[in-house]
A and B are shown apart, each in its own frame.
Chain A
Amino acid sequence: MAPARDGLVLAALLFSFGLAGLLVRRNVLFILMSIEVMLNAAGLAFIAAGEHWGQPDGQVAFLFILAMAAAEVSVGLALVLHLYHRYKSVDVDAASRMKG
């Protein structure tokens, strides 16, 4: 069952790159892209596990991740546009203070 283990290793690699990008970058677009990479890595782990057991449940879980990612990215990008119109910047540190 080498492919399942390889798939999990690949998922772990991609997830750690996404996490590193999320922590290092300050541009909100890159932060959203890092989140996409991490969600994708989680989906890859589901697919690899589903392949290992020969069951379709892993693919079903991936479909739910896909729907969640689509909803998340639409709201996130609307917030990015909001941030840009208010602060003329896509740096998340511009919006680090809360008011009221």
Chain B
Amino acid sequence: MSLTFDIAGAIAVAATVVSLTRVNAVHALLYLIVSLLAIAVVFFTLGAPFVAALEAIVYAGAIMVLFVFVVMLLNLGREAVREERNLLEPSMWVGPSVLAAILIAELLYLELTGAAGGGPSQMISPRRVGIALYGPYLLGVEMASMLLLGGLVAAYHLGWRKPARAGVR
């Protein structure tokens, strides 16, 4: 139980350090995604399966895809073709793949042995989280929804360009 936590934590730290010291943004994003997945496994070992799933779906899935879109938008044309060719080289994807494979093996081990939640840390079920979320924290949920609406409107406004002066701003 504790060993799985240690391995996932070590992968998270290593992937974060490697990610923040890369020069190439796409390399950094790949390692950052591995780091987020490792933190999701850490959450799983800490007895928080609902949050672990959300970490993988929202952080590693949605937020990192936004980053990838922006990186792809920033370099178009011939540069992007060269970049794409670099992506297919083994030095690019072997590191993140190995780390992700270790995480998958760890998750399979936890799932098959049923060790998650049976060790020193008790599982906090999604049911209890939901009851707390829509009970005492209902006001916070409403405020989060308003914040997301504000973020949506602001991103739309900032991303919008005047048709007549397209390309200037």
* Residue ranges of A at the interface with B (Cβ–Cβ < 8 Å): 1-3, 6-7, 10, 13-14, 17-18, 20-21, 25, 27, 29-30, 32-34, 36-37, 40, 44, 47-48, 50-51, 54-60, 62-64, 66-75, 77-82, 84-86, 90
Q: Which of A37, A60, A72 contacts B16 (CB 8 A)?
A: A37
User: Smallest CB–CB gap between B120 and chain A, Å?
Assistant: 6
Q: A33-B19, A56-B128, A71-B148 are in contact. Are A44 and B42 (CB under 8 A)?
A: yes
Beta-carbon contacts of B113-146 to A below 8 Å, as 1s and 0s? 0000000111010001101110001001000100
Q: Which of B13, B46, B58 contacts A48 (CB 8 A)?
A: B46
- Give the nearest-CB partner of A7 in chain B: B46
Q: A17-B16, A90-B74 are in contact. Are A78 and B159 (CB under 8 A)?
A: yes
Residues of A within 8 Å of B128, CB to CB, are 56
Can you list 8 A-B pairs, Cβ within 8 angstroms, ordered by A?
A: A10-B42, A27-B25, A30-B20, A36-B32, A51-B48, A55-B124, A60-B133, A81-B74
Tell yes or no: B93 within 8 A of A by CB.
no
Q: A40-B39, A51-B47, A59-B48 are in contact. Are A29 and B20 (CB under 8 A)?
A: no
Q: Which of A29, A37, A60 contacts B25 (CB 8 A)?
A: A29
Question: Is A10 within 8 A of B12, CB to CB?
Answer: yes
Tell yes or no: B158 within 8 A of A by CB.
yes
Residues of A within 8 Å of B42, CB to CB, are 7, 10, 44
CA distance A84 to B73 in the complex (A): 10
Question: Is A63 within 8 A of B124, CB to CB?
Answer: no
Question: Is A51 within 8 A of B121, CB to CB?
Answer: yes
User: Smallest CB–CB gap between B93 and chain A, Å?
Assistant: 19
Give the total number of A-B pairs whose CB atoms are below 8 A apart. Answer: 166
Question: Is B67 within 8 A of A47, CB to CB?
Answer: no
CA distance A50 to B5 in the complex (A): 16
Question: Is B155 within 8 A of A74, CB to CB?
Answer: yes
Tell yes or no: B169 within 8 A of A by CB.
yes
User: Smallest CB–CB gap between B119 and chain A, Å?
Assistant: 8
User: Smallest CB–CB gap between B69 and chain A, Å?
Assistant: 8
Tell yes or no: B63 within 8 A of A by CB.
yes
User: Smallest CB–CB gap between A5 and chain B, Å?
Assistant: 11
Tell yes or no: B154 within 8 A of A by CB.
yes
CA distance A75 to B29 in the complex (A): 18
- Give the nearest-CB partner of A22 in chain B: B20
- Give the nearest-CB partner of A20 in chain B: B20
User: Smallest CB–CB gap between A81 and chain B, Å?
Assistant: 7
